[in-house]
Amino acid sequence: MDIPRRYKSMFVLPGLITLVLIIIFPLLFTIRVSFSSWNVSSPQMDFVGVANYVTMLSDGRFWAGTLRLVLLAGGTVLIQYVLGFGLALLVWRNVLGRRLWRVLFLVPMMTTPVVMAAIWQTIFHESLGPVNDLLGRLGLEPVRWLTEAGPAVVALMTVEVWQWTPFMFLLMLAGLLSLPKEPFMAAAIDGAGAWRTFREVTFPLMAPVSVSAVIIRLIEASKLSDTVYVLTSGGPGSATESPGYYLYIRALKEQQTGYGGSLSLTYLILMIVTLTVVAALLARALKVKGDS
Amino acid sequence: MARLDLADVGHSYVPDAAEERWALKPLRLTFEDARTYALVGPSGCGKSTLLGILSGLVTPSRGRVLFDGADVTDLPTKARNIAQVFQFPVIYRSMTVYDNLAFPLRCRRWDRARIDAKVRQVAEALDLGGRLRQQARRLTADDKQLISLGRGLVRDDVAALLMDEPLTTIDPQLKFTLRRKIREITEQFRPTVIYVTHDQYEAMSFAQELLVMDGGRVVQQGTPEQLFEAPSSTYVGWFIGSPPMNFLTVEHAREGLSLGGRPLAAAWDAPQVTARPQVGIRPEYVRIVTEPGANTFPARLRGVQDHGAQRVLEVDLAGQPVRAKVPREDGVPGVEEFLVHLPRTKILPYVDGRLATLP
So what's the pLDDT on residue A286? 79
Longest dimension (CA), chain B: 78
If 0-12 CB within 10 Å is exposed, 13-18 middle and 19+ buried, where does residue A135 land? Answer: middle
pLDDT at B149 over 60: yes
Cα within 13 Å of Cα(A117), Cβ side: 18
Q: Do the strands B337-341 and B296-306 form a parallel or antiparallel pair, or are they unpaired?
A: antiparallel
What are A9-51's pLDDT values in tens digits? 888 899 999 988 998 999 999 999 899 888 888 888 888 888 8
- Distance, CA of B233 to CA of B251 (rounded, Å): 19
Are B191 and B315 in contact, with CB atoms under 8 Å apart? no
What average pLDDT does this structure show over B81-108?
Answer: 89
d(CA A30, CA A241): 23
- Is residue B145 within 8 A of residue A183, CB to CB? The reply is no
> Pseudo-torsion of CA A153, A155, A156, A162, nearest 10°?
140
Q: For residues A2-14, give the mean pLDDT.
A: 80
User: Are B78 and A188 contacting, i.e. CB atoms less than 8 angstroms apart?
Assistant: yes
Tell me: pLDDT of B86 over 90: no
Contacts of B66 (CB under 8 A, 6+ apart): B4, B5, B6, B7, B72
A292: contact with B, CB 8 A cutoff: yes
Question: Of A196, A201, A205, which has the smallest distance from its Cβ to B107's Cβ?
Answer: A196
Each residue of B286-299: pLDDT tens digit?
Answer: 999 888 888 999 99
Q: Report the C-alpha gap between A274 and A266 in whole angstroms.
A: 12
State the smallest CA–CA distance between residue A213 and chain B in angstroms: 20
The one-letter amino acid at B174: L
Q: What average pLDDT does chain B have?
A: 87
- Alpha-carbon distance values, B222 to B40, B166, B208, B283 (Å): 12, 22, 8, 21
A95 vs B262, higher pLDDT: B262
User: What distance in Å separates the CA atoms of residue A4 and residue A238, rounded to the nearest whole number?
Assistant: 58
Least confident window among A100-114, B62-76, B103-117, B170-184:
B170-184
Confidence of residue A1 (pLDDT cuts 50, 70, 90): low
DSSP state of B96: B
A123: domain CATH number? 1.10.3720.10
Helix (H) or strand (E) holding A9: helix A3-19
Considering only CB atoms, A200 lies closest to which of B87, B92, B138, namely: B92
Between B189 and A147, where is the model more confident?
A147
Task: Choose the closest CB to B94 out of A180, A191, A204.
Answer: A204
Tell me which chain B residue has its CA closest to the CA of residue A181.
B90
In chain B, where the domains are located: 4-235, 242-355
Asked whether the beta carbons of residue B77 and residue A201 sit closer than 8 angstroms, the reply is no
Name which of B142, B239, B242 is nearest B198 in CA terms.
B239
d(CA B25, CA B17): 11
What pLDDT does A289 receive?
Answer: 52
Average pLDDT rounded to a whole number, residues B168-186 = 79
The H or E element spanning position A132 is: helix A130-137
Lowest average pLDDT, out of A57-66, A93-102, A188-197, B317-326, goes to A93-102
State yes or no: pLDDT of A292 exceeds 80: no
Short-list A90, A220, A266, A68, CA closest to A156: A68
In a mutational test of the A interface, the residue from B75, B85, B88, B90 whose CB has the highest number of chain A CBs within 10 Å is B90
Strand (E) or helix (H) holding B71: strand B70-71
- Interface check A181 vs B, CB under 8 A: no
Dist. CA B349–CA B357, nearest whole Å: 7
Across the A:B interface, residue pairs with CB atoms under 8 Å apart total 55
The average pLDDT across A205-222 equals 92
**Inside any domain, residue A21:** no
Over the stretch B29-58, which tens digit does the pLDDT of each residue have? 999 988 999 999 888 888 888 998 998 888
What is the per-residue DSSP string for B144-160? HHHHHHHHHHS-TT-S-
B87, B94, B95, B168: best to mutate for the A interface, most A CBs within 10 A: B94
Measured distance CA(B122)–CA(B132) in Å, rounded: 11
What distance in Å separates the CA atoms of residue B236 and residue B234, rounded to the nearest whole number? Answer: 6
| Exposure string for B104-141, b = 16+ CB within 10 A, e = fewer | bbbbeebeeeebeebbebbbebbebeebbeebbbebee
- Region class of B16: left (phi > 0), else alpha (psi between -120 and 50), else beta: left
Closest chain A residue to the Cα of B87, Cα to Cα: A182
With a cut of 70, say whether residue B5 has pLDDT above it.
Answer: yes
B-chain residue closest to A203, CA distance: B94
What average pLDDT does the structure give for chain A? 88
Mutate to test the interface with B, among A179, A184, A190, A291 (most CBs of B within 10 A): A190
| A224: containing domain | 61-285
Cβ pair A204:B107 closer than 8 A: no
Interface residue ranges in chain B relative to chain A, Cβ cutoff 8 Å: 55, 57, 76-78, 82-84, 86-88, 90, 92-95, 103-104, 107-108, 137-138, 140, 148, 151
Is B90–A188 a contact, with Cβ atoms under 8 angstroms apart?
A: no
pLDDT of residue B358: 54
Band the pLDDT of A169: cuts 50, 70, 90. Answer: very high
Quote the pLDDT of residue A291. Answer: 45
Q: Per residue in B194-203, pLDDT tens?
A: 999 888 888 8
How many whole angstroms separate alpha carbon A73 and alpha carbon A76? 5
Q: Residue B93's closest CA among A82, A170, A182, A278?
A: A182
Contact between B104 and B158 (Cβ < 8 Å): no
Share of chain B above pLDDT 70, in %: 97
- Separation of alpha carbons A210 and A216, rounded Å: 10
Q: How far is B18 from chain A (nearest CA, A)?
A: 28
Q: Does residue B226 surpass a pLDDT of 50? A: yes
- Residue B256, by phi and psi: left (phi above 0), alpha (psi -120 to 50) or beta? left
For residue B359, what pLDDT is reported?
A: 46
A277-292 burial, b if ≥16 CB within 10 A, otherwise e? Answer: eebeebbeebebeeee
CA distance B138 to chain A (A): 6
Confidence grade of residue B313 (pLDDT, cut at 50, 70, 90): very high
Mean pLDDT of A183-194: 87
Sheet of strand B310-317, all strands in order from the earlier edge strand to the far edge = B287-289, B337-341, B296-306, B310-317, B320-327
**Is pLDDT above 60 for A231?**
yes
Q: How far apart are CA A152 and CA A163, in angstroms?
A: 17
Quick check: is A121 in a domain? yes
| pLDDT (0 to 100) of residue B247 | 94
Predicted confidence band of residue A105 (pLDDT cuts 50, 70, 90): confident
Q: Is pLDDT of A174 > 90?
A: yes
Q: Per CATH, is B242-355 categorized as 2.40.50.100?
A: yes
Once rounded to an integer, what is the mean pLDDT over residues B127-154? 87
Q: Do B151 and A190 touch (CB under 8 A)?
A: yes
- Looking at residue A206, its pLDDT comes to 93
Minimum CA–CA partner of A207 in chain B:
B94
Rounded average pLDDT over A162-179: 93
Instruction: Mutation target for A interface from B54, B80, B86, B135: give the one with most A CBs within 10 A.
Output: B86
Residues 6+ apart with CB under 8 A from A42: none
Q: Work out the average pLDDT over B157-185.
A: 82
Task: State which residue of chain B sits closest to A184, comparing Cα positions.
Answer: B90
Cβ pair B103:A192 closer than 8 A: yes
Give the C-alpha distances (Å, rounded to integers) separating A243 from A72, A112, A248, B48.
11, 21, 8, 60
Class of domain B4-235: alpha beta
Q: Look at residue B150 in the predicted model and tell me its pLDDT.
A: 87
Facing A191 at nearest CB: one of B92, B93, B104: B104
Residue A232 has pLDDT above 90, yes or no: no
What pLDDT is recorded for position A66? 92
Q: Note whether residue A167 is domain-resident.
A: yes
Are A157 and A69 a contacting pair, CB within 8 Å? no
Number of domains in chain A: 1
